Amino acid sequence: MRRVALAPFNDPQADFVIQTQRTNTMFRVSLAILAQASSFFRQVESQRKQNPGLRDYEHLDVAESDATIETILRFIYPVADPVVQDLDDVCDAYQASVQYKFDYVAKRLREFMLSPRFMDNEPVRVYAIARRFGLAEETNIAARHVLRFPPNWPAYEEFDHISGRAYHELLTLHKNRGRKLVEFLHSFHLKEKITCMKCCPREATAALPRRQPEWWQIYVQQATPLLLDSPANEDIFSLEFILKVAIEAGITCSMCCTSIMQAAQPGGAIAILKEGLASKPFDLVVSNT
């Protein structure tokens, strides 16, 4: 039994039909609009002009779902853009847009992949999708977002479509980035910002640099496993984390308390540390060249 899609893809005067094989749903559409958006359909339009009346150029059966076809059509028709809620839908629509050469639709769907809706919660899936389709820029952007999470990723279905090497490269990037940032953290010294003159009164010399106050040593100790676990971890820069360190350090020295508050202020040691960590070069997973 055939079904007809909802408006505006149900025009009885339309000159072309896209029919989904799964549900036998007919999308009655304008071949001229399709041809403007797709070189695939421009070829169909050209063939029809050369073979008027031949049904092969008036109808197309497709394996894609109703939702995928409607998503693509809504991008190219003068109607509201589709609401894409799930990465599976983005992936299916992107694959179809590439197959049928809807370049504009493919571009919009790549933008959808990088939207906060997906990047804030599912960057690993976005990474796998981007690797699957050879999208270098999207791969590296997603990889950066993956660094906010520990590498205990679920066995996403998207992994079935990428190589073991692609998976290993993400894991290696995560591990190497964590090590690089921890090395920077341990070498970070900003004595005028974090040294307490009461607890660490010794004057600094080349041979005997001033010892860092105890709260800073505890800060480094507690921040280290967090950076190794999640190299883009933002928690270590929060006032909550800094105060937790102060409490665990059992700070009683008023000057140390002052140095902690100074370090936590805008432009203080923590902000400079954050800047320094962010400035470390990012190792690309894949290159555009």
> Are residues 190 and 269 in contact, defined by beta-carbon separation less than 8 angstroms?
yes
H or E stretch covering 276: helix 269-279
List the structure tokens of 58.
């008036």
Q: Are 229 and 284 in contact (CB under 8 A)?
A: no
The residue among 258 and 70 whose pLDDT is bigger is 70
Q: Hey, what are 267's tokens?
A: 């432009």
pLDDT at 207: 46
CB 110 within 8 A of CB 84: no
The yes-or-no verdict on residue 289 having pLDDT over 70 is: no
CB–CB of 214/199 below 8 Å?
yes
Neighbours of 36 (CB within 10 A): 13
Residue 201 has a pLDDT of 57
Alpha-carbon distances, residue 168 vs 16, 153, 213, 285 (angstroms): 46, 13, 40, 10
How confident is the model over 104-125, as a mean pLDDT? Answer: 96
Q: Would you say 178 and 231 are in contact if contact means Cβ atoms under 8 Å apart?
A: yes
DSSP 3-state assignment of 204?
A: coil
Q: What is the amino acid identity at position 186? A: H
Q: Considering only residues 268 and 61, tell me which one the structure prediction assigns the higher pLDDT.
A: 61
C-alpha–C-alpha distance, residues 62 and 74, integer Å? 17
Tokens of 152: 């205990």
Burial classification of residue 167, based on how many CB atoms lie within 10 Å of its CB (0-12 exposed, 13-18 middle, 19 or more buried): middle
Cα of 108 vs its chain's centroid, Å = 15
For residues 221 and 225, give the distance between their C-alpha atoms in angstroms, rounded to a whole number. Answer: 8
- Whether 206 has a pLDDT exceeding 70, the answer reads no
The most confident of 46-50, 96-100, 233-237, by mean pLDDT = 96-100
> Per-residue confidence at 160, pLDDT binned at 50, 70, 90?
very high
Of 21-25, 105-109, 121-125, 214-218, give the lowest mean pLDDT range: 214-218
What does the pLDDT read at residue 275? 93
pLDDT value of residue 199: 66
Average pLDDT for 10-20? 94
Q: Which residues pair with 27 in a beta bridge?
A: 18
Residues whose CB falls within 8 Å of the CB of residue 236, separated by 6 or more in sequence, listed in order: 222, 223, 226, 227
Q: Which helix (H) or strand (E) holds 19?
A: strand 16-20
Read off the pLDDT band of 191 (50, 70, 90): low
Rounded to an integer, what distance in angstroms lies between the CA atom of residue 162 and that of residue 91? 14
104-113, 173-182, 219-228, 247-256 — which is least confidently predicted?
247-256
Assigned token pair, 266: 């805008």
Q: Over range 233-244, report the average pLDDT.
A: 90
| Residue 83, pLDDT above cutoff 90 | no
Residue-averaged pLDDT of the chain: 88
> What are the structure tokens assigned to 111, written together?
């933008």
- For residue 279, how many other CB atoms are within 10 A of its CB? 9
Specify the higher pLDDT residue, 181 or 250.
181
- Give CA separation, 26 vs 52, 79, 96, 99, 215, in Å: 21, 19, 17, 19, 69
On the question of a cis peptide bond just before residue 8, with omega within 30 degrees of 0, the verdict is yes
pTM for this predicted structure = 0.86
Residue found by looking up tokens 């954050």 in the block = 274
